[in-house]
Amino acid sequence: MKLMLALDVMSKNEALKIAEETKDFVDIIKIGYPLVLSTGIEIVKEIKNKTNKEVVCDFKVADIPATNEKIAKTTLKYADAIICQGFVGKDSVMAIQKVAEEYGNKGAPKKVIMVTEMSHLSAVEFLQPVADDLAKMAKELSVDGVVAPSTRPERLKEIKEIVGDIPIISPGVGAQGGDLDKVLEILGDNDYVIVGRGIYEHNNPKESAKHYKKLISKN
Ligand code: XMP
């Protein structure tokens, strides 16, 4: 099982410092609007240069196909993977997959990761009732990964059963209170545990990343 660092800090210096400090224990780095809107998309290149890790842009893209295509082109020029929402429907996700295919190559494929059920409390209001269908769509489209919640292990398990061998990327342990032990019972070698604040808000991000990596690797 792999550790994905959610680097949701707002300054370039802090981002690069934490990325470099934690790189020996982190498998892949996820950034999103907080960092990219504060510093610009070029930060992806700088993180990659500093760490030699893949960078995922968590933009939860949710627009019409024509706009999704433009967002994906700008993002995948820099990033290795992009996260999109599935609730907008198949054509919007496929527009991103088309860009990923065009921009990637065998040695450096570009990946499309789709959200099923989110990890926060209110995800149960609108998203949870359709999350199984979203997971089925993710399987049908053969996306490269799906996001499913560590905050609800029973749902994580159900979604994993639907998507089969598609890697799961799971946020919710650490600051959101997800139970890592339960999550470790469900996820497998190709899946990712996402930790953000539990690492970058820790007084020693390197030690925290080391701690999470050790816990995850024990399984
Ligand atoms: P924390 O600080 O809670 O960070 O460890 C979690 C990271 O994951 C993102 N996040 C999600 N992304 N679906 C997603 O695609 C989700 O359900 C979800 N929940 C949290 C969050 O933005 C942060 O980067």
Cα 169 to Cα 187: distance, rounded to the nearest angstrom: 9
| Residues 192, 180, 154, 89, CA torsion sign | negative
- Which of 17, 63, 98, 139 is the catalytic position? 63
pLDDT for the residue numbered 219: 56
CA of 85 to the centre of ligand 1 (A): 13
**Residue from 194, 200, 211 whose mutation best tests the ligand 1 pocket (most atoms within 8 A of CB):** 194
Domain that holds residue 102: 2-217
pLDDT for the residue numbered 174: 80
DSSP of 82-146, one letter per residue? Answer: EEEESTT-HHHHHHHHHHHHHH--SSS--EEEEE-S-SSTTHHHHTHHHHHHHHHHHHHHT-SEE
Binding-site entries for substrate: 8, 30, 58-67, 119, 171-181, 196-197
Residue type (1 letter), 49: N
CA of 171 to the centre of ligand 1 (A): 5
- 75 near 104, Cβ under 8 Å? no
Residue type (1 letter), 39: T
Q: Please tell me the total count of domains within the chain.
A: 1
CATH assignment of the domain containing 113: 3.20.20.70
What ipTM score was computed for the predicted complex, to two decimals?
A: 0.95
Q: What is the pLDDT along the chain (219 residues), one digit of tens a residue?
A: 999 999 999 999 999 999 999 999 999 999 999 999 999 999 999 999 999 999 999 999 999 999 999 999 999 999 999 999 999 999 999 999 999 999 999 899 999 999 999 999 999 999 999 999 999 999 999 999 999 999 999 999 999 999 999 999 999 888 888 889 999 999 999 999 999 999 999 999 999 999 999 999 965
Per the annotation, the verdict on 136 as an active-site residue is: no
Beta bridge partners of 83: 58, 113
Cα 186 to Cα 134: distance, rounded to the nearest angstrom: 19
